[in-house]
Amino acid sequence: MSDLEMKEQVQEILDKLRPFLLRDGGDCELVDVEDGIVKLRLLGACGSCPSSTITLKAGIERALLEEVPGVVEVEQVF
């Protein structure tokens, strides 16, 4: 699967997760997908929340690993 195809699938999953982030005053932006590594920027309340690492790893990363073949990791970028 190409990075472009993976990026499209990642965006679909993020769109499904977005309402949960928005409910808590946050959001996330897909920055890039390169060699199976998804780079996300956390926005709004998520950007400054002490639990954002847990949200990123336990929530978003887990969903992407399960749903998008080829994803190996999610990184937060600032």
| CATH classification at residue 23 | 3.30.300.130
Give tens-digit pLDDT for 14-62: 999 999 889 989 999 999 999 999 999 999 887 887 888 888 888 999 9
pLDDT at 45: 86
Give tens-digit pLDDT for 38-47: 999 999 887 8
pLDDT at 51: 81
The predicted model scores a pTM of 0.90
Instruction: Note down the domain range covering 27.
Output: 3-76
pLDDT at 54: 83
With b for 16 or more beta-carbon neighbours within 10 A and e for fewer, the 38-72 pattern comes to bebebeeebeeeeebeebbeeebbebbbeebebbe
User: How many distinct structural domains can be found in the chain?
Assistant: 1
What are the residue ranges of helices labelled H in the chain?
A: 3-23, 45-48, 52-54, 62-67
